[in-house]
Homo-oligomer: A and B are copies of this chain.
Amino acid sequence: MRVAFLGLGIMGRAMAANLVKAGNEVTVWNRTPGKKVEGATTAQTPAEAAQGKEVVWMCVSDTDAVEQVLFGENGVDRVLTSGMVVVDSSTISPSATLNFAARVRSKGAEYVDSPVTGSKIGAESGQLVFIVGAEQSLIDRLQPLYSAMGKATLRMGETGKGQAAKIGMNLMVALNYEAFAEALVLTSKLGVPSENMLQLIQASMVRSGVVDYKAPFVLKRDFSPNFPLRLMLKDLKLMLDAAREGRIKLPALETVEEVYDIASEEGYGDLDYASTLELLEKWAKVEVKGAAN
């Protein structure tokens, strides 16, 4: 297929490369110039990239960035024609998604929200999970592209439901990690060696992919960014916005958002979100130690 891929961050670049590998005709664009993908044409603007394509796939940083790419100067909407499909793999506001979809449809084009899970490794290996809001028939049309980049396509419902489910999932990621971090700090303060605590966690019902993935980094105290804290904070704010729009009270979410807000103010924004542990450690005057320390 003829595909425009807009946004060459950690995720987008790997996804675009997999589209090229699968034999698609890919044109890429990135806000900051200079990024390229081997085998793909590079465009100067979103409109130039999107011109004449069957599918326009976005993976940018936030709601504002999606709006700019679609409707800003030299945005995609200048070249939208009937039958084109716009796909958004960014994680953005569910309600803004409804608005963007309506504006895209007014030009006769289609809109599919498809945020992803699976991290950088999943993007590179073509093992992402797509969390999709769209009609099944549209998903079927896009299946060759989904298959080039991912291992599963989970339909959550109509437009916007992909974004809604994604922020719900990330709410659980942030809270599950906070649970792990608070448990480590409490038990460390009480003198339980972290390795012992981990052994218990792994033998019990609180074991999760979040703990399995993060624990080795925590014990090595390696907080280099796999998922930067500032991006998780952005997602936490999306959840709070959605909760406020729906007049919903979500107490633990509100509390954890405050923790990330403080961590961001204290300069942890570009580290992994796992570094929120250090904030708890400071407050507790204790350090969670692995055997290696």
Contacts and interface: CB of A to CB of B under 8 A. Distances in A.
Interface residues of A, number: 73
A112 interface: no
A94 B190 contact: yes
Nearest to A117: B204
User: Copy number of this protein in the oligomer?
Assistant: 2
A210 B206 contact: yes
Contacts of A284: 246-250
A242 B188 CA distance: 12
Interface stretch (A57-65, A81-89, A154-162): A154-162
Given A176-B175, A206-B208, A208-B206, A243 B186 contact: yes
A180 B210 CA distance: 14
A273 B154 CA distance: 30
A259 to B, nearest CB: 6
A161 B256 contact: no
Interface in A182-204: 182-187, 189-193, 196-197, 199-201, 203-204
A192 B157 contact: yes
A171 B182 contact: yes
Contact of A179 (B175, B212, B243, B280): B175
Interface in A60-82: none
B247 A200 contact: no
A168 B187 contact: yes
Nearest to A210: B205
Contacts of A154: 196, 199-200, 203
Contacts of A55: none
A104 interface: no
A182 to B, nearest CB: 5
Contacts of A178: 175, 252
A200 B153 CA distance: 10
A251 B246 contact: no
Given A208-B208, A209-B205, A251-B255, A175 B168 contact: no
A253 interface: yes
Contacts of A203: 129, 152, 154
B209 A175 contact: no
A106 to B, nearest CB: 22
A291 B168 CA distance: 19
B208 A176 contact: yes
Given A161-B196, A165-B187, 4 more contacts: A169-B183, A175-B176, A205-B213, A207-B209
Leading 6 A-B pairs by shortest Cβ distance: A205-B209, A175-B179, A164-B190, A208-B208, A168-B187, A172-B206
